[in-house]
Amino acid sequence: MDLVLEVCDSYFLDNWYTRFFPVSMATTIDPKWVSKLQLSTGTSNVSCLVTGLNNQIKNVPWTSRINPEIYGYTPYLMEMSEASFGSIFPRFNVIRQFISMLAIVTVFGWILYFVTASLSYMFVFDKNIFNHPRYLKNQMILEIRLAMSAIPVMSMLTVPWFILELHGHSNLHIDFGPHGKWSILQELVTFIMFTDCGIYLLHRWLHWPLVYKHLHKPHHKWLVCTPFASHAFHPVDGYFQSLPYHIYPMLMPLNKVLYLFLFSFVNFWTVMIHDGNHMSNNPYVNGTACHTVHHLYFNYNYGQFTTLWDRLGGSYRKPEDELFNPQEQNMATWTEQVKEIDAMKVEVEGNDDDRVYDYEVSSKKLR
């Protein structure tokens, strides 16, 4: 995340911190707290300092510029300016980093959620789902409302992992490794396998009855999904399911650029598996159809990317053939489906059900 943070610092955050928290504020604070909080007291010749730091990067290879320990001491992708040293909170200050990353991750999360879910809704989403007897009244509004409120909290819980990365406590790197592009491919494969296993285990744990009713039940309110259900979680549930993505670079080497790509891809994938468009019936990929089965019948297909761990754990359920045939998606099929859905719902949740189904669909279609 240091790459993203440096771009944001250079373009607008340096100016923002300098304007609202100028270095002159240090004179009003007890020197003891200035030291403890690592606040800046300014420097006598900022222009010389900026020139010297920027000169450091001109003849230094791109992959060798970064401070290996803590972000913010030296320029990396971009040159520093006098605004970089104009705030009481220097770039390497933990308080500043927490505030900056919380804002960046929250706004990026909202934008990514809305853009990908909206594009999926317009071009991919099977709108026939609106006619399903278990589609809720005002469901998309409820999904968006929950996602919008959950993303900031999930971001706040996630930011400490990024702070650890910014302070050098990870195996993130910028080079191509000892084997060039093959190293990147190896990291990609191991990342997918590690996170797929981790999410499978965490997802099964979230279905443990004592945990389910407190954390995971809000996401299973959507028995049939729209793309906007993708991030509609209880925030602690969403955070737990993201843990493998943050644990991996603490244990294994991972290219920084690949990390940013995968961080974005995971969000795309999460939207894709909730779009109700069952284009692929690949038995090895935990795609939309497999995840649809999970929402319909609760206790199957916990994996994220593949069906491997569900097969090993005995929780794999092959999607029904009619999911892939639009002509078979009719009220007769759905009526039989609803019988099993309701039976599984009672088995998992008991009679504690706050769902309000679309009145016109549920009353007219199931007679």
pLDDT of residue 47: 57
Decide: 91 and 166 in contact? Cβ < 8 Å: no
Residue for token digits 């088995």?
A: 347
What is the rounded average pLDDT of the residues 222-243? 95
**Mean pLDDT, the chain, integer:** 86
Question: What is the rounded average pLDDT of the residues 293-306?
Answer: 94
Q: For the chain, what are the domain ranges?
A: 1-92, 97-361
For the chain, give the percent of residues with pLDDT over 70. 87
- Distance between alpha carbon 355 and the CA centroid of its chain, in Å? 26
pLDDT of the residue at 54: 59
Could you tell me which of 52, 74, 77, 50 has the C-alpha nearest to residue 62? 77
Torsion of CA 113, 197, 255, 263, to 10 degrees: 0
Is 27 buried (19+), middle (13-18) or exposed (0-12) by CB count in 10 A? exposed
> Rounded to the nearest 5°, which phi and psi values hold at 27?
-70, -15
Give the other-Cβ count within 10 Å of 117's Cβ: 27
Burial class (CB in 10 A: 0-12, 13-18, 19+), 365: middle
Q: How confident is the model at residue 51 (pLDDT cuts 50, 70, 90)?
A: low
Q: What pLDDT is stored for residue 351 in this prediction?
A: 87
pLDDT in tens, 245-263: 999 999 999 988 899 999 8
At 60, is the pLDDT very low, low, confident or very high (cuts 50, 70, 90)? Answer: low
Distance CA 152, CA 235 (A): 8
Q: Tens of pLDDT along 160-176?
A: 999 999 988 899 888 76
Q: Which residue has the tokens 């900026």?
A: 50
- Partners of 87 in beta bridges: 22
**The pLDDT value given to residue 367:** 39
Helix (H) or strand (E) holding 240: helix 235-251
Residue 365 in this model has a pLDDT that exceeds 90: no
CA distance 226 to 207: 21
Distance between CA 268 and CA 273 in Å, rounded? 9
> Hey, what long-range contacts does 6-10 have (CB within 8 A, 24 or more apart)?
6/71, 6/75, 6/76, 6/77, 6/78, 7/77, 7/78, 8/100, 8/104, 9/72, 9/84, 9/91, 9/100, 10/78, 10/79, 10/80, 10/81, 10/84
Q: State the average pLDDT over residues 87-98.
A: 92
Give the pLDDT confidence score for residue 244 in this predicted structure: 95
* Selection from 168, 175, 182 nearest residue 255 by Cα: 175
